[in-house]
Amino acid sequence: MKALGLFSLAIIFVFAEQIKSQEIEATLAGSASTDGFSVKESSDTLFRVTGEGNVGIGIATPSANLQVEGTTKLGTNTDVVAITDIIELTGTTASSGGSTNISYPTGWTQDNTRILCFELLSGGGSWAGVGWYINTVSTSLRYNVSSSFIQLVYPNNASFHSRPYRAILMKIN
C-alpha cells in the first residue's frame, strides 16, 4: 500500500513539473515518525515530511518542526549569510575576578562566530543580558571576542561569581 502511495506521489511530481502553476497536495494517513514521505536522490534524503508533521531538509529523521542539515542561506542579494550551525553555549563564571574566558567550540573561530545573545544569572536570581547597566556598582555586563576565546566581563562582586551563563552562537561560512 505504501509503495502504491509513493508511486502515486512520484506521478504527481512528474505531472507538477509539466504544469508548474498547479498546487501539489499530499495527505498523510499515518501519524508515526516512520510514516510520511521523502524526496530522495539515490539514497540521500533531500526532503522529508514525517507522519508527525516534522519537516527535514537534508535529513531523513527530523526531530523538530523544521530541521535543516547543512548550510542555510538567508537573503537574496550578494550579502547572503550562510549559516552552518546555531548552538547554545552554557557554563559558570569564575569564582573570583570580573571576567571569564570561554573557549570556542571545536571548529568555531573569531571569524566565523556571531554572538546572538549572552546572559548571566545574577545572584539576585534574574538573567542579565549583555549591555545591562548596574546602577549600584556603575558597571555593565559585556563580552569581548578575541582570536582565542570569548571573554564575559561582569562586576567583580560575589553576586556574579560562580554563576551560570548562557549564550546563543551562530556559525557562518
Domain presence at residue 21: no
Strand pairing category for 133-134 and 139-140:
antiparallel
92 and 164 share one domain: yes
48 and 91 share one domain: no
62 and 78 share one domain: no
| Residues 100-118: tens digit of each pLDDT | 999 999 999 999 999 999 9
| Mean pLDDT calculated for residue range 157-170 | 91
Expressed as residue numbers, the domain containing 133 is 73-172
Three-state secondary-structure class, residue 28: coil
37 and 88 share one domain: no
| Residues 36-51: tens digit of each pLDDT | 777 778 778 788 888 8
pLDDT of 3: 44
Neighbours of 113 (CB within 10 A): 18
32 and 58 share one domain: yes
**DSSP of 148-163, one letter per residue?**
S-EEEE--SSGGGTT-
DSSP structure class, residue 137: T
Identify the band that residue 4 occupies on the pLDDT scale cut at 50, 70 and 90: very low
124 and 102 share one domain: yes
Q: Which of 99, 92, 95, 75 is nearest to 152 (CA)?
A: 99
pLDDT of 5: 47
58 and 94 share one domain: no
The pTM is what?
0.64
